[in-house]
Amino acid sequence: ATKPPLSADQIADLNAKHVNDLDRDYDHLCRQLARRGVDAEAAVAKVAAFSVAIPTWGAGRGGTRFAKFPLAGEPTNIHEKLQDCAVVQQLATVTPRVSPHLPWDTVDDYVGLREEAAELGLGFDAINSNTFQDQAGQPHSYATGSLTSSDAAVRAQAVEHNVECIEIGRKLGSRDLTVWIGDGTNFPGQQDLGRQFDRYLDSASGIYAALPDDWRMLLEHKMYEPAFYSTVIQDWGTSILAAQELGPKAKCLVDLGHHAPNVNIEQIVSRLHRFGKLGGFHFNDSKYGDDDLDSGSINPHQLFLVFNELIEAERNPRDGFDPAYMIDQSHNVTDPIESMLVSAEAIVQCYAKALLVDRDALHDAQDRDDVTMAFQALRRAYTVDVTPIVAKARVEAGGACDVIAAYRASGWRDRKAQERKPVGLGAGIV
Ligand code: LRH
Ligand code: MN
Ligand code: MN
């Protein structure tokens, strides 16, 4: 039996205050959309089937390289992080899986951890390896890079860590390994750009060889940081070349904050899908770089356009269509639970809006080169307030109508501030 952290009765009581208004708003929206020939109920069903993983590290306060400001009652270990993720899932109902990061989430008993998560109503999603930091007691430093280091012993250690992540992931029930490396250079001439990529391919193929048949290796690119002159896996071009070289189980992962400014990310989605290489997503928002801001807080229209491409991709599956969706954010100034609740809602809202696009009208306008009506097909969906659709799906799944109000009414963080040990001060990690 599952042991949800919040009282289901309290959520139901809070919802009782809203259900009449929600039903009225939902009926009104259904009628409005029906006039345009759009089926709101179908959107509710699709929204109810949608899910996005949340990262264990997102449950704690993030930080910058300048400072981290801890929050009273924030989780300090994987067990407490799972509890907080379970709170998000209970209220939002679209985040049933967590994505672990190793060695940040190291425990002695991974089978036990999987059971602990299951009791909280959670499963595990993609496992993330970490060869961008040194860990205490590790034989070799990653100061010269990891999978691409010029030192063979360092490369072997980095490969070995990824293989261990796969073994741990098998115990947790994961089926994807996400590999992001910080390798690159800070000075022109520091390394040979070609030979460094060769070393990447060689190391990555060692990891690929350890993948079980039903696993995928998700290659995550990022333009810069921590390397500031060149980065080995810097863009989707390098990423897809590597994935093609490695084999069919290697796919590309798109983190929304990892691109050059103004890059057309939705077009990248389309390209990767065209070649069967779209493997997953890290959702966040960005103003300047890899800001890891809350999803939809800066450019919700871009998020909508990304989902528009994802829906087109789903309708035209190539090599299957099964992207691993995850929130990847750094919650520096908010309660992480609140950020994840709001972000999950923003993501689902953009998905719901993309579902409302009249695709026949869009495709017809495209075929006739009617620019205005093609754009209108998108615009008319984007401007719909889909709150009732998203709330309807959530309440039907036992979640909260107003996620933030319900979370605050639960008093969760104040209780945890009494129970949990305080977090020390320190610089942030990512
Ligand atoms: C790198 C990244 C990657 C890491 C995470 C902590 O910037 O996006 O996904 O695993 O941050
Ligand atoms: Mn990421
Ligand atoms: Mn990032």
What residues does 283 pair with on adjacent strands? 327
CA angle 349–354–357, rounded 5-degree value: 135
pLDDT in tens, 186-197: 999 999 999 999
Amino acid at the residue 141: S
CA of 120 to the centre of ligand 2 (A): 25
Q: Percentage of the chain surpassing pLDDT 70?
A: 99
352 domain-assigned: no
CA angle 194–199–203, rounded 5-degree value: 150
**Residue 80 in contact with ligand 1 by CB distance below 6 A:** no
| Local confidence band at 340 (pLDDT 50, 70, 90 cut-offs) | very high
User: Is the bond into 96 cis (omega within 30 degrees of 0)?
Assistant: no
CA of 292 to the centre of ligand 3 (A): 7
Question: Angle, to 10 degrees, between the axis of helix 236-246 and the axis of helix 265-274?
Answer: 20
Instruction: Tell me the CA distances in angstroms from 104 to 101, 145, 353, 399, one per residue in order.
Output: 6, 19, 36, 30
367 domain-assigned: no
User: CATH number, domain at 320?
Assistant: 3.20.20.150
pLDDT in tens, 99-115: 999 999 999 999 999 99
Task: Work out the mean pLDDT of the chain and round it to a whole number.
Answer: 96
CA of 403 to the centre of ligand 2 (A): 25
Q: Residue 2 has what pLDDT? A: 87
Rg (CA), the chain: 22
The residue whose CA has the least distance to atom 9 of ligand 1 is 180
CA of 180 to the centre of ligand 3 (A): 9
Ligand whose nearest atom lies closest to the CA of 225: 1
Q: What is the β-pairing status of strands 324-327 and 278-283? A: parallel
Amino acid at the residue 393: A
d(CA 184, CA 168): 28
For 136, counting Cβ atoms within 10 Å of its Cβ (0-12 exposed, 13-18 middle, 19+ buried), the class is exposed
Q: Residue 288 has what pLDDT? A: 96
425 domain-assigned: no
CA of 325 to the centre of ligand 1 (A): 14
| Local confidence band at 422 (pLDDT 50, 70, 90 cut-offs) | confident
**Residue 68 in contact with ligand 1 by CB distance below 6 A:** no
Q: Which two tokens stand for residue 306?
A: 């990304």
Q: Residue 425 has what pLDDT? A: 61
**Residue 291 in contact with ligand 1 by CB distance below 6 A:** no
364 domain-assigned: no
d(CA 420, CA 125): 26
40 domain-assigned: no
The residue whose CA has the least distance to atom 3 of ligand 1 is 180
pTM above 0.95, yes or no: yes
pLDDT in tens, 240-295: 999 999 999 999 999 999 999 999 999 999 999 999 999 999 999 999 999 999 99
**Residue 285 in contact with ligand 1 by CB distance below 6 A:** no
d(CA 32, CA 26): 10
| Local confidence band at 428 (pLDDT 50, 70, 90 cut-offs) | very low
The three-state secondary structure class of 127 is strand
Which of 222, 258, 288, 332 to mutate to test ligand 1, by most ligand atoms within 8 A of the CB atom? 222
The residue whose CA has the least distance to atom 1 of ligand 1 is 180
Q: Percentage of the chain surpassing pLDDT 90?
A: 97
Show the domain range for 308: 50-347
User: Is the bond into 317 cis (omega within 30 degrees of 0)?
Assistant: no
| C-beta neighbour count of 262 within 10 angstroms | 6
Number of domains in the chain: 1
pLDDT at 430 over 90: no
**Residue 309 in contact with ligand 1 by CB distance below 6 A:** no
Amino acid at the residue 69: F
- Dihedrals phi, psi of 173, to nearest 5 degrees: 95, 15
CA of 12 to the centre of ligand 2 (A): 35
Hey, what's the torsion of the CAs at 368, 373, 378, 384, to 10 degrees?
-150
**Residue 259 in contact with ligand 1 by CB distance below 6 A:** no
Average of per-residue pLDDT across 362-373: 98
CA angle 274–280–282, rounded 5-degree value: 130
Which of 255, 288, 292, 331 to mutate to test ligand 1, by most ligand atoms within 8 A of the CB atom? 255
Residue 292 alpha carbon, nearest atom of ligand 1: 8
pLDDT at 48 over 80: yes
DSSP 256-310: TTSS-TT--HHHHHHHHHHTT-EEEEEE-B-SSSS--BPTTSS-HHHHHHHHHHH
CA of 179 to the centre of ligand 2 (A): 9
**Residue 281 in contact with ligand 1 by CB distance below 6 A:** no
102 domain-assigned: yes
**Residue 105 in contact with ligand 1 by CB distance below 6 A:** no
Average of per-residue pLDDT across 131-156: 97
d(CA 344, CA 336): 12
Look up tokens 């999987």; give the residue.
114
Q: Which two tokens stand for residue 305?
A: 């356009």
pLDDT at 93 over 80: yes
> Whose CA is closest to 215, among 255, 162, 268?
162
More confident residue, 1 or 116: 116
CA of 416 to the centre of ligand 1 (A): 27
pLDDT at 426 over 70: no
Which of 102, 128, 295 to mutate to test ligand 1, by most ligand atoms within 8 A of the CB atom? 128
Q: Which two tokens stand for residue 11?
A: 């959520």
